[in-house]
Structure 1
Amino acid sequence: MARLDGKVAIITGAASGMGLAGARLFAAEGAVVVMTDVAEDALRREAAAITAETGATVTARTLDVTSPQSWADVVSGTVAEHGRVDVLVNNAGIHIAKGVLEAELEDWNTVMAVNTTGVWLGMKSVIPHMQAQGGGSIVNVSSIAAIIGGEADAGGAAYSASKGAVRSLTKHAAQWFAKDGVRVNSIHPGSVFTGMAAAAGFTKESMGAQLGGNVPLPPHVGDPEDIGYGMLYLASDEAKYVTGEELVIDGGWTTR
Structure 2
Amino acid sequence: MHYQDVNCLNLKTMDFKNTSYIIMGGTTGLGLSAAIALKEKGANVLVVGRNLESCKKAEAILGPINISLSGDATDPETAKTAIQMAHDKFGTITGMFHVAGGSGRKWGDGALDKITLEGWNKTMELNLTSMMLSNQAMVNYFLEHHKEGAILNMGSVLGYSPSPKYFVTHAYAAAKSAIIGFSKSIASYYAEHNIRVNVIAPSLFITPMAKRAAENEDILSFLKTKQPLDGGRPGASEDINSAVLMFLHPDSKFITGQVLAVDGGWALSEGQYQ
TM-score scaled by structure 2?
A: 0.85
Read off the aligned partner of 2:38 and give its amino acid letter: F
Read off the aligned partner of 2:15 and give its amino acid letter: R
Asked if the contact 2:103/2:209 (under 8 Å) is kept, the reply is no
Structure 1: gaps of 5 or more residues: none
- The match for 2:152 is 139
Residue 71 of structure 1: how far off its partner (Å): 2.0
Asked if the contact 2:166/2:219 (under 8 Å) is kept, the reply is no
- The match for 2:103 is 95
Please list the CA deviations of residues 183-230 of structure 1 after superposition, one character each: whole Å capped at 9, or x if unmatched: 100000012122333x43736987643312312213322111111221
> Which is worse superposed, 106-115 or 147-156?
147-156
Residue 152 of structure 1: how far off its partner (Å): 9.1
- The match for 2:172 is 159
Structure 2: gaps of 5 or more residues: 1-12, 270-274
Asked if the contact 2:213/2:220 (under 8 Å) is kept, the reply is no
- The match for 1:115 is 127
Read off the aligned partner of 1:28 and give its amino acid letter: E
Inter-partner Cα distance in structure 2 for 1:192 and 1:19: 12
- The match for 1:40 is 52
Inter-partner Cα distance in structure 1 for 2:103 and 2:22: 22
Residues 1:84 and 2:92 aligned together: yes
What's the Cα RMSD here? 2.1
Read off the aligned partner of 1:6 and give its amino acid letter: N
Matches within 5 A, 1:197-236: 197=210, 199-200=211-212, 202=214, 208-220=220-232, 221-236=234-249
Structure 1 residues 19, 201: CA separation in 2 closer, same or farther (over 3 Å shift)? same
Tell me the number of residue pairs that the alignment of Structure 1 and Structure 2 aligns: 251
The SS at the match of 2:35 is helix
- The match for 2:196 is 183
- The match for 2:42 is 30
Inter-partner Cα distance in structure 1 for 2:217 and 2:249: 33
- The match for 2:9 is none
Structure 1 residues 205, 193: CA separation in 2 closer, same or farther (over 3 Å shift)? farther
The SS at the match of 1:103 is coil
Residue 231 of structure 1: how far off its partner (Å): 1.2
Residue 151 of structure 1: how far off its partner (Å): 4.3
Residues 1:62 and 2:62 aligned together: no
Asked if the contact 1:22/1:228 (under 8 Å) is kept, the reply is yes
Match of residue 265, structure 2, among 242, 246, 252: 252
Relative to total residues, which structure has the larger helix share, 1 or 2? 1
- The match for 2:17 is 5
Inter-partner Cα distance in structure 1 for 2:243 and 2:201: 10
Asked if the contact 2:214/2:220 (under 8 Å) is kept, the reply is no
Please list the CA deviations of residues 40-95 of structure 1 after superposition, one character each: whole Å capped at 9, or x if unmatched: 101211221221xxxx7210111211111222222122222222221100101111
The SS at the match of 1:77 is helix
Residues 1:17 and 2:26 aligned together: no
Read off the aligned partner of 2:58 and give its amino acid letter: E
